[in-house]
């Protein structure tokens, strides 16, 4: 079977598993594990606490250090409320584009890697090729943490990792850090005709959103032009609160995020938001002594810091024939690999512009380009 077609066929198999983050991914993991074991790989599984989801880490070649990791997440975002022209969980090829949920983000990369595994197994690998397939990346890079902890416990030390997020096969050497944060305002109910007798949590939360906007504007002054936008961003995206128009709201909730430049300390964003919240709450305590804000980080991931000496970036540039190294504002698991001491680079088929949208697609020629690149990685491992 021609490798380009095998990648396409494999992607058809993978998108048929509905691995939306709320679902189990065990069927896809079992499929991938069996395929990799048939190719001769040794495999390790790590699970979530409920054993509903798993990561698989598979190794072809010798059991030594300095292997190359091909990494991808198996989960996809929901299709709820999206208007698709075809079944999102069935590959539909039209005009050289394969449409399906996860086609770009990021089962395309996983499909090409799995399709090539039997071919890679026939090489005389001098260093191992590792396949790392994880769960729950889309909800805060959750699953890969246990995979990385397992590698550390087992003293498995790869030389580098290639994270196959969609970059249109461009080399990406840096990405922002991010967090999803929930801030709950607590007021005191009273009749809205006498606001001094209580505190409206909705009004408090509204002021807090205004403070986040002001903080975002201040952060624009610290820029790094490799990124678009070139500064740390702060956004409030979900809001709820209140019971009736004539009652001061006892509670309101704001869900917000930051996307921080990777070599800045995002703790300062949290500290400045907390200081603003306290200033707001103090103004409402005349009518509500217990008025206040409680903030919790629901998910967070580190940025991928630019490292000009990174062996991952250097190898990717050499194999791709390009010294053009990009930076992106979306998050990936690369920062966690880097934190675990595994130099990382992002390079994969498809465009992030397609991710999370209806009629998500990957171009077949992108799968071809990915196959050509991964063959070069494998040949490098055989040198």
Work out the average pLDDT over 22-49: 97
The pLDDT, as a whole number, for residue 6 is 72
**Residue 2 pLDDT greater than 60, yes or no:** no
Encode pLDDT of 198-218 as tens digits: 999 999 999 999 999 999 999
Q: How far is CA 248 from CA 25, 200, 236, 238, 293, in A?
A: 44, 4, 22, 20, 16
Encode pLDDT of 285-302 as tens digits: 999 999 999 999 999 999
Work out the average pLDDT over 316-331: 94
Work out the average pLDDT over 62-79: 97
Is residue 165 part of the annotated active site? The answer reads no
Closest to 258 in 3D by CA, of 332, 172, 189, 179: 179
Work out the average pLDDT over 45-51: 96
Rounded to two decimals, what is the model's pTM? 0.93
Closest to 208 in 3D by CA, of 258, 245, 256, 265: 256
174: β partners? 327
Distance CA 229, CA 220 (A): 9
Catalytic residue among 105, 136, 137, 165: 137
Catalytic residue among 18, 75, 92, 168: 75
Confidence of residue 5 (pLDDT cuts 50, 70, 90): low
Work out the average pLDDT over 222-227: 95
The pLDDT, as a whole number, for residue 3 is 47
**Is the model more confident about 312 or about 3?**
312
Query: Please, what are the domains in the chain?
Result: 3-175+304-381 (3.40.630.10), 177-301 (3.30.70.360)
296: β partners? 182
**Is the model more confident about 74 or about 4?**
74
Is residue 34 part of the annotated active site? The answer reads no
The pLDDT, as a whole number, for residue 193 is 97
Distance CA 320, CA 312 (A): 12
Confidence of residue 308 (pLDDT cuts 50, 70, 90): confident
Q: What helix, strand, coil percent values describe the chain, rounded to 5?
A: 35, 25, 40
Distance CA 277, CA 370 (A): 47
């Amino acid at each position: 079977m021609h490798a380009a077609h095998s990648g396409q066929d494999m992607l058809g198999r993978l998108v048929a598993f509905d691995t939306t983050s709320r679902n189990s991914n065990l069927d896809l993991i079992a499929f991938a594990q069996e395929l990799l074991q048939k190719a001769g790989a040794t495999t390790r599984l790590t699970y979530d606490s409920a054993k509903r989801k798993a990561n698989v880490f598979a190794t072809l070649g010798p059991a030594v250090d300095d292997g190359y990791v091909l990494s991808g997440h198996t989960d996809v975002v929901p299709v709820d409320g999206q208007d698709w022209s075809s079944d999102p969980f069935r590959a539909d090829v039209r005009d050289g584009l394969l449409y399906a949920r996860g086609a770009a983000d990021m089962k395309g990369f996983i499909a090409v890697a799995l399709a090539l595994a039997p071919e890679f197994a026939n090489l005389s690998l001098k260093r191992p090729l590792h396949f790392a397939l994880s769960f729950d990346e889309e909800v805060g890079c959750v699953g890969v943490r246990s995979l990385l902890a397992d590698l550390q416990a087992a003293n498995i030390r790869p030389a580098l990792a290639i994270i196959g997020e969609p970059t249109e096969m461009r080399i990406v050497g840096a990405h922002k850090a991010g967090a999803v944060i929930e801030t709950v305002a607590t007021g005191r109910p009273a009749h809205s005709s006498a606001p001094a007798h209580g505190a409206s949590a909705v009004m408090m939360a509204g002021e807090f959103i205004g403070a986040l906007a002001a903080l975002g504007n201040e952060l624009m002054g610290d820029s790094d032009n490799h990124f678009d936008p070139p500064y740390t961003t702060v956004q409030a995206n979900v809001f709820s609160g209140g019971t009736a128009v004539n009652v001061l709201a006892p509670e309101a909730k704001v869900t917000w995020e930051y996307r921080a430049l990777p070599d800045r300390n995002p703790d300062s964003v949290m500290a400045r938001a907390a200081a603003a919240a306290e200033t707001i709450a103090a103004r409402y305590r005349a009518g509500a002594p217990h008025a206040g804000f409680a903030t919790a980080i629901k998910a967070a991931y580190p940025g991928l810091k630019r490292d000009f000496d990174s062996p991952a970036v250097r190898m990717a540039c050499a194999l791709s024939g390009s010294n053009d190294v990009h930076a992106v504002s979306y998050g990936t698991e690369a920062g966690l690999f880097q934190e675990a001491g595994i130099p990382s680079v992002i390079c994969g088929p498809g465009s992030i512009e397609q991710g999370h949208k209806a009629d998500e697609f990957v171009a077949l020629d992108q799968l071809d380009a990915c196959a050509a690149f991964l063959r070069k990685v494998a040949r490098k491992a055989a040198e």
